[in-house]
Structure 1
Amino acid sequence: MSLSVTKIKALFGLKLRLIISNMSLMTAPIMAILYVVFMKSIMQSKAPSHVALISLLLGMGLCFNIVMGGIMMTSYPLAEEKEHHTLRVLMTSSITGPEFFIGSLLPPLAIMTVTNLILVPLSGASWSQIHLGNFLLITIITSLTSLVLGYIIGLIANSQTQAGVYSIPMMLILSLIPNFEQFNTTLKSFSSYLYSSTLITILPPRIPLVAFHGRFVRY
């Protein structure tokens, strides 16, 4: 089956405009950027080292963007199209399934990748610490995982409300547990099975930390 580049480009442009104009879908990228900027301003004097600060900021920022953004940007629009019966119209047109999948997948992936790159300098990290090739490879793979997971939720849900109900527990588990695994051995064992923990353990420069009376202490 041959793919039409023209149809994919047209669908890409349409989906990109719809996502950017929908502030609810842009919540995760914006939240990730604001989180890194805000936490950096209040934690610079409290973190035990510059590397530890980068690890905390970049890890949580990437989780917000990749996990929450990936799931929301595919589950909500797909559920909306099912709810308003526009998906049925698209699938009965000349657009094939693979063309629809690729054209709908690329816009959120592009937005998430640009946001991930913005988070690196905002967190205070240098590219020598991150390694651009590894960074792009891991973030793109995990972003695609979140996007496909969002598609699955969108297919199961019959409305945007249902998509939100199904998405929120998944987003909380995938984004919060990897960031709190160092405080609990049970969470650490469970987190090792989550793809989002790769972002926390591999990409940022890591320093093992524990919280002790409100301060970060190395162990």
Structure 2
Amino acid sequence: MEAALRKTSALLGKDMKDLVKNPTVLLGCLLPVGFIALYSQTMGDASGEAADAARHQFLTMALFMTVGMTGCMTALYTIAEEKEKHTLRTLMLANVSAAQVIASRAVVSLTAIVVAQAACFAVLRAPIDLLAPYLLLGILSGLPVVMLSLVLGLASRDQMTAGVYSVPLILVAFLPMFAPLNETLAKATPYCPTGGAQELLNLAADGALFTADALQPLVVTLVWVAVGAAALALLYKRLARDN
């Protein structure tokens, strides 16, 4: 047990360093904060209900961006980089299990989501009572995206392939942003990985997060978490087949 904890701790330290050293992954962490900082300037001198509505809209956008860009790119690109550079082979020879590698990558990716969300939250100067539910919803909606990203990372031969695989997953995470443009998308949005989190965030802003209205979007979100976990459990052993 102690040896496993030491290995996991060492992996977490290595993965945190890899996050900063990989320019693509680092960009995926910084872009959401940059976009939100830029969008926040459009609020100008707005106050009252107009400012609250704009702030809530940008908070929702930040949720999609951090989950889609930060979560996806942090998990997918780093696994693909390890396969490309044969780091995974070295880890396996060092008696590190695939489950430990996956757990470390997932924790680092979720941490990156939380940090990026907290930065966006601070930029928008949102009400502090929303911070805890906001970060929690980021983790819940980020879990399936991170796990599916890890699955795609396992299927990627290199970082170029990972770039191709990341596009549909990022678009799925961004889907609620495009819902107002199309009636079909609007109907499908509540059932996408970030759709339930969007509804829960709306309820949190209205002070109705702990009501019966939150049950359906919460179930949708948890179902996506289960889907991501099942896909990862079935395919994570591909880690042992380094390129």
Q: Displacement, 1:151? A: 0.5
Show CA shifts across 1:180-205 (max 9, x none).
21332211112122111233322253
Percent identity of equivalent pairs? 25
Distance (whole Å) between structure 1 residues aligned to residue 195 and residue 2 of structure 2 = 37
Distance (whole Å) between structure 2 residues aligned to residue 28 and residue 63 of structure 1 = 13
Counterpart of 1:165, as a letter, is V
The residue aligned with 1:32 is 32
Show CA shifts across 1:134-157 (max 9, x none).
323221122222211111111111
Q: Displacement, 1:131? A: 5.4
Q: Displacement, 1:2? A: 8.0
The residue aligned with 1:172 is 171
Are the aligned partners of 1:44 and 1:53 in contact in 2 as well (CA < 8 Å)? no
Distance (whole Å) between structure 1 residues aligned to residue 70 and residue 45 of structure 2 = 30
Distance (whole Å) between structure 2 residues aligned to residue 80 and residue 99 of structure 1 = 17
Counterpart of 1:179, as a letter, is M
Aligned to 1:77, the other structure's residue is in SS state helix
The residue aligned with 1:94 is 95
The residue aligned with 1:181 is 179
The residue aligned with 1:210 is none
Compared CA separation, residues 60 and 121, structure 1 to 2 (3 A): same
Are the aligned partners of 2:32 and 2:62 in contact in 1 as well (CA < 8 Å)? yes
The residue aligned with 2:148 is 149
Higher helix share: 2
CA RMSD of superposed structures (Å): 2.2
The residue aligned with 1:105 is 106
Q: Displacement, 1:57? A: 0.9
Distance (whole Å) between structure 2 residues aligned to residue 124 and residue 201 of structure 1 = 21
Q: Displacement, 1:21? A: 2.0
Distance (whole Å) between structure 2 residues aligned to residue 45 and residue 184 of structure 1 = 31
The residue aligned with 2:217 is none
Aligned to 1:4, the other structure's residue is in SS state helix
- Spell out structure 1 runs of 4+ moving beyond 3 A: 43-48
Per the normalisation by structure 1, the TM-score is 0.83
Show CA shifts across 1:115-135 (max 9, x none).
21222231231122x251x32
For structure 1, list consecutive stretches of 5 or more residues without a partner in the other structure: 207-219
Q: Displacement, 1:8? A: 0.7
The residue aligned with 1:212 is none
Distance (whole Å) between structure 1 residues aligned to residue 190 and residue 75 of structure 2 = 25
Compared CA separation, residues 123 and 198, structure 1 to 2 (3 A): farther
Distance (whole Å) between structure 2 residues aligned to residue 55 and residue 166 of structure 1 = 30
1:57 aligns with 2:58: yes
Counterpart of 1:187, as a letter, is L
